[in-house]
Amino acid sequence: MNGNDLSKFRYDKAIVCGIPSSLPAAAQRQSGCLEPVNLSKALNQHANYVRALKNMGLKVIELTADEQYPDCVFVEDAAVVCGDIALVCRLGHPTRRGESARMKTVLQELGLSVEEMEHPATLDGGDVLFTGKEFLVGLSKRTNQQGVHILAKTFGDYPVTAISVSNHLHLKSLMSMAGPDTVLVGGSSEADDVWNEVEKKAKFKYEKLTVPEDKAANCLFVNGTLFHLTSAEIPRSYEVFKQLPDPKIEVENSELHKVDGGLTCLSILI
């Protein structure tokens, strides 16, 4: 693994957002999990996540929780950033679309070149997997073909390929980057179907690393370090991570996972 391999996954800033007290009762739930969110525990887990980003040397821009938007902690969905260009998304769920206005302001203040998405396009950042060489974009309940088209126009230096996602919330609910050219893929039949489509359609070839539990496949690869869930959360997948080379960081996310939140969901890396 050389420096060039890692260059597309090097970041110096991250945007995060606090957890509103409205989240446990009002956040969107697609997975069907009915277990209540322990807000106090969620706040503690999120604080540890933010601390881990800071320990990586990132400057973390911390937005305050917005009670109007119970899902606002999942900032990844509100924008896609690559290099010095940012695309502010028109989020797939109508209750979340108001989150974009504040995100646009923050991205402009950071000096990025900001593009916006308009009706009828929809795109959630959780559907956008940047491999360092191309974008793979989930066509899901939250992201449509028009959204994929606008992303392709915005980031014209990279190929963009649409991948069908039917039952899970986002593409990155099923897979994420575990390192340059390595894709971490869940063990479900849908994850396998999605991976098969990636293999057929992607413009580049990738090594597949399978984990038994789909939720274990959502990881954050930052500056050469892999953020993954704890052994208590992914008991069947933990052995896979143990065998991967360091550096690795375990981050607990049990509470926000109850409302479909993964590790990538909680930040926008810049």
Residue type, position 207, single letter: E
107 DSSP 8-state letter: H
Distance CA 234, CA 71 (A): 24
Q: Residue 105: CB partners within 8 Å, gap ≥ 6?
A: none
Active site amino acids = 170, 265
Residues 6+ apart with CB under 8 A from 118: 90
Place of tokens 């990636």: 198
Other CB atoms within 10 A of residue 157 CB: 7
Supply 64's token pair: 């305050």
CA neighbor of 42 nearest in space, from 203, 253, 260: 253
Q: How far apart are CA 248 and CA 230, in angstroms?
A: 11
